[in-house]
Amino acid sequence: MSLSARIAWDDTVLPFQLDRSDIRGRVARLDGVLEKVLEQHNYPPAVEALVAETALLTALIGQTIKLRWRLSIQVRGSGAIRLIATDYYAPAAEGEPARIRAYAAFDQDKLDPAKTPFQQIDGGYFTILIDQGQGMMPYQGITPLSGSSLSDCAQTYFAQSEQLPTRFALSFGEAQSPGDPAAWRAGGVMLQHMPKASPFASGGGSGEGGLLEAEDILDGDEHENWNRANMLLDTADELELIGPQVAPTELLVRLFHEEGPRVYDAQPVAFGCTCAAEKVRESLSIYSSEDIATMVTEDGIVTADCQFCGAHYEFDPATLGVDGVEAPGDDG
């Protein structure tokens, strides 16, 4: 099968439940979406890998938020890779696709080919933010970076901040078939134990720096069921996770047929950015006319570029800032 061909399960997130284990999860496949995210920039391989991993985590986690909400992941570090930022915009209405965008900030001169991509973040924080819309206070959860991957960080986040045992198995990279250009494909599975009525874990955890891990939260049959599901997930290979020959439903049956898997409607996802000229103008409204003057180019304009999609905006400095006035109806 040509990798460039559109497949029914490309760019989808499929929610499921394991009825015999009180475990829920999602299977995500990002293909055209990830290609669109990465083609906006010319990232070095290490940065591309981290952006791909974060985008895949964002799709898996974001699928649970309500219509019109936004979920963001931010990874901030003190190393060569300073920031990875992703947004997942839930559909505006049932049946519409969710939208994903992402970008990274890094110091090219500090990238070290001897280090793994994750090591080049060099400590910092993993943050999830949920914006419920105008008039609502955003929710924000922060945990230190831990483990050896961003997937490890996300697992620690859910154990520490939500006390929800969570596991991610991800695979991503450029794939190529004869006669086709290389293209990014990504896929993964998220497992999450359903919350208890009163989640509780006393004392410090067994994870790095005393952070909570799944074994600190579950006991008895729940612990046994969780371990069994994780061992089954361990048998998935990278090609199964990515596809394209294995459908998400086929993967679930292969891995969890004895756990009673039940699937729900798949959520389509697409690349999408919410930048607009008026939003940029609004962000510049906090500056005084003196500050705006320092931003004016040799051509006498103020320019701004969207970090996510590369859109370029140009403004008349006289219409910007707290002192800027744009005369209505002036045809000039």
Residue 128 near residue 159, CB atoms below 8 Å: no
For 280-327, the pLDDT digits (tens) are 888 887 888 888 888 888 888 888 888 888 888 888 888 886 554 443
Stretch 46-51: mean pLDDT: 96
Q: What is the mean pLDDT of residues 82-97?
A: 94
* pTM metric for this prediction: 0.84
Examine the pLDDT at 25 and tell me if it is beyond 80: yes
Question: What is the residue extent of each domain of the chain?
Answer: 12-271, 277-319
Residue 220, phi-psi category: left (phi > 0), alpha (psi -120 to 50), beta (remainder): left
188 Cβ contact list (under 8 Å, min separation 6): 27, 28, 56, 57, 60, 168, 169, 170, 171, 172, 241
Give counts: helices (H), strands (E), the chain: 8, 13
User: How far are the Cα atoms of 102, 224, 227, 240, 313 from residue 174, in angstroms, in the given order?
Assistant: 18, 37, 32, 15, 32
Q: In the prediction, which pLDDT does 316 show?
A: 87
Residue from 215, 211, 242 nearest 230 by CA: 215
Residues 6+ apart with CB under 8 A from 278: none
Assign 329 a pLDDT band (cuts: 50, 70, 90).
very low
Judge residue 320's burial from the number of C-beta atoms within 10 Å of its C-beta, 0-12 exposed, 13-18 middle, 19 or more buried: buried
> Quick one: tokens of 325?
């006035």
Query: Mean pLDDT across the stretch 151-160?
Result: 95
Q: What does the DSSP assignment read for 264-280?
A: -PPEEEEE-----HHHH
Residue 284: CA count within 13 A, CB half-sphere:
29
* Domain 12-271, CATH among 3.40.50.300, 3.55.30.10, 3.40.190.10, 3.50.50.60: 3.55.30.10
Residue-wise over 215-224: b if at least 16 C-beta within 10 A, else e?
ebbbeeebee
Question: Is 56:97 a contact under the CB 8 Å cutoff?
Answer: no
| Residue 3: per-residue pLDDT | 41
